[in-house]
Structure 1
């Protein structure tokens, strides 16, 4: 019985010593915000050109964090990918409580990408020129399709579907090669590049495979769209 009591006493003493060796901090709300933002930022997968804004929920007047044994544990409440609204869990052992303290804070994420948009109404069959476009930052959740980050790529392409002023010019709004167009056909090998003319047998955009016909031989084959009025036969 004495052995048991001594062991129990040693256990208590060890536990108290362990906590005593840890730093006690009283986190401010700004610290809570920074920890939550950092946890979310680590999981964001966005292009280097994107603008990212991370905004924690305002807790002013709603909560007063207790004293904590350092460090404060921070983790996302879900394993899913970062979305517009995210939940972060913070917890710590506290001398003020007999149990671990924890709280949840909502964190909003806005990611904007540079996008080529129409600076005027674009109508079907219109050929896009530099004066038709500008670059604006657009929220990723407003983009429903393949967009373009610069205007240069789009110059010379043809509008297939009406594009409203200030709207993103998406891949399905236009064609870089349109059905019936005369196209330059390139065929490359290690040592030589061959160029000939042909006819596009259907619409196509960058990196799409379309059917074309060689104007000299009338032979049909598949080719990859590489630019406005240009396709390439991959050999």
Structure 2
């Protein structure tokens, strides 16, 4: 049901943009509210559709009064569209030309794993500690965790606070001294062994592992909680 609701909202938004732009192109007289709406519609047409973005546009002050333009309005951004703080320029290119500036803030919204309680340094991460929430990307430093199952069983490398966004840098999926499973892949053949981690590692890190059978130290990539992989 949610899928169809999203499709309906996208279709409605596309219709509104088409209709509003068509109407605006025929207008010659604009109130501050209409100019703000036109700037908002134009900006949404410029943004990528594969990213969840939150737009906060500042309405033009009504005290500037209505504006007249016999040509289609021109819009542009003062900075690259990736900038969080930006300004939309509205310009009328006629003999009696004028231009206005509309401040806008663009925030990328991501789904992230967030802590539901305080976590002490060295604690084992359990499912009841975690939830999924929407957060602004600008508040995140590091590689975000988007799937709770990815980190259940990991250990915290520092003290973490309730409400904090969890990143891979906060955790060791394999901690020094842990007994880990070594997955070895060679020409389609997969075998496993056990080893002892010689250092901490997070997802994608390469760490040293002491093979408990051969007593040799090998390098392996951390691919999950207490699981490493050796490739040939």
Q: TM-score range by the shorter chain?
A: 0.7 to 0.9
The alignment partner of 2:123 has SS state of coil
Check conservation: 1:44, 1:82, Cα contact below 8 A. Answer: no
1:25 counterpart residue number: 28
How many residues are aligned here?
Answer: 208
- Per the alignment, residue 5 of structure 2 pairs with none
Q: Could you tell me which residue of structure 2 aligns to residue 93 of structure 1?
A: 93
Equivalences for residues 14-163 of structure 1 within 5 A: 25-42=28-45, 44=47, 48=51, 50=52, 52-78=53-79, 80-94=80-94, 98-163=95-160
Instruction: Check 1:39–1:233 CA distance in 2 against 1; reply closer, same or farther (3 A cut).
Output: farther
Cα displacement (A) at 1:39: 4.3
Q: Which residue of 1 aligns with 2:18?
A: none
Q: Secondary structure at the match of 1:217?
A: coil
Distance of 2:155 and 2:87 partners within structure 1: 44
Of 219, 224, 228, which residue of structure 2 is paired with 1:227?
224
User: Mind listing any 5+ residue stretches in structure 2 that lack a counterpart?
Assistant: 1-24
Q: CA RMSD in A?
A: 2.2
TM-score by length of structure 2 reads 0.80
Give the TM-score normalised by structure 1.
0.79
List alignment gaps of at least 5 residues for structure 1. 1-21
Structure 1 or 2: more helix by fraction: 2
- Provide the rounded CA distance (Å) in 1 between the counterparts of 2:106 and 2:145: 22
Matches of 2:229 and 2:121 in 1, distance apart? 26
Whole-angstrom distance in 1 between the partners of 2:187 and 2:37: 54
Distance in 1 of aligned mates of 2:50 and 2:134: 13
**Match of 2:161?**
164
Does the aligned pair in 2 maintain the 1:187–1:194 contact within 8 Å? yes
Larger C-alpha radius of gyration, 1 or 2?
A: 1
How far does residue 116 in structure 1 lie from its aligned partner after superposition?
A: 1.0
SS at match of 2:207: strand
2:196 aligns with 199
Q: Tell me the SS of whatever aligns to 1:69.
A: coil
Structure 1 residues 104 and 126, CA, compared in 2 at 3 Å: closer, same or farther? Answer: same
Contact 1:73 1:91 in 2 (8 A): yes
Between stretches 33-42 and 153-162, larger displacement belongs to 33-42
Q: Is the 8 A contact 2:33 2:59 kept in 1?
A: no
